[in-house]
Amino acid sequence: MSFSEIIGQDRAVRRLLNAVGSGRLAHALLFVGPTGTGRRTTALALAERLFCLAPETGGGCGRCPGCRRLFSGQHPDLIEVWPTVRLSAPKDDSRVFTLRDSQGVNHALVDIKDDALAREFPGTRQIRQVQVRELIRRLGFKPMLGDCRVVIINQAELMGVEAANAFLKTLEEPPRGTTFALTAPDSGQVLPTIRSRCQRVPFALAPDAIVADVLRARQGLGRVEAERVAALAGGRIGRALQMDLSRLDEMDRALDLALGGSLDRQAAFELSGQLGSDRESARVFLDGLAQRLRCQADSRDMETRRAAVRGFEMVLAARRDLERQANIRLVLDGLLVGMERRRS
């Protein structure tokens, strides 16, 4: 999780290192960019640099106790906040924790850190007021090891209005030595009151050629396979590295089918059933659709161009819905039926 492992985000990395080096790091940063572009990894690299006892020009040294505790996931001055799902009752499960709100009501919550957890604990994912209050309580104590502390707020776009209101004062005037790093897909999805208190650090999609190079170097893929994965990863290194290679053919077939113009209701239903089993597959599918429609939008034929633009807008809307809507199949069903209709 050091800065050298972050690929394709040279501007963001340089900017952060310069800011830390000159003592001008903003106390609240908003890392904006698509999932899989390295926002959280960069926040962790920043934490390493700040916690390091012997920092180097490129970041933390990787060897001192500060760096080592961060690597092992046990640094007490790194606080991470994730969107949670609220359970109807406490559960005997180490991942479930309880927070008491100001009315004395206990909330049984689970951090939703990835898609597997989202499947296991379905429900509305949100960063809740009770979590923000707990964060503020913890920030009332001094850092444990050094004089600084890093708070990563993952998926800040899922912070509710009440939570944001509870958070504003602390975000604006954090305790000494506290740095907030919030992540979001784009700043437009973050509440304006939060957004306006943070310095924006953009994360860009990496060019396909760079993604393919990384796959060849790190996973030993051949050129053709690396290029196919890169095309589906849509510039997201994180996604490319986690791609299930056995499903490449299936994904290409699904994209051909969705854009082939002969998808009846039954076929659309089957396709969304096949892709709707996990959110990441649905994301890859939607981003692949968007990419192909963008190419079609350059067509000379007016009708093709119009249909592509309409389709592209539908895909963008579905992409937004996907992150908020628990039922993946509903989103895909609606899109695929709409995609067929747009031609008539």
Residues forming contacts to Zn ion in the complex (CB under 5 A) are: 52, 60-61, 64, 67
Nearer to Zn ion, 61 or 87 (CB): 61
Can you say how many angstroms the Cα of residue 46 is from the centroid of all Cα atoms in its chain?
17
DSSP 228: H
Q: Please, what is the minimum distance in Å from the beta carbon of residue 148 to Zn ion?
A: 13
Nearer to Zn ion, 61 or 210 (CB): 61
Q: Please, what is the minimum distance in Å from the beta carbon of residue 64 to Zn ion?
A: 3
Tokens at 276, concatenated:
């709707």
Q: Please, what is the minimum distance in Å from the beta carbon of residue 56 to Zn ion?
A: 8
Q: What is the rounded distance in angstroms from the CA atom of residue 58 to the CA atom of residue 97?
A: 37
Q: Please, what is the minimum distance in Å from the beta carbon of residue 54 to Zn ion?
A: 6
Q: Find out whether 35 and 236 touch, Cβ atoms under 8 Å.
A: yes
Nearer to Zn ion, 67 or 229 (CB): 67
**99 HSE (CA, 13 A, CB side):** 20
Coil/strand/helix, residue 264: coil
Q: In residues, how long is the chain? A: 344
Q: Please, what is the minimum distance in Å from the beta carbon of residue 39 to Zn ion?
A: 22
Nearer to Zn ion, 64 or 87 (CB): 64
Q: Find out whether 46 and 179 touch, Cβ atoms under 8 Å.
A: yes
For residue 188, count CB atoms less than 10 angstroms from its CB and return exposed for 0-12, middle for 13-18, buried for 19 or more: exposed
Nearer to Zn ion, 67 or 79 (CB): 67
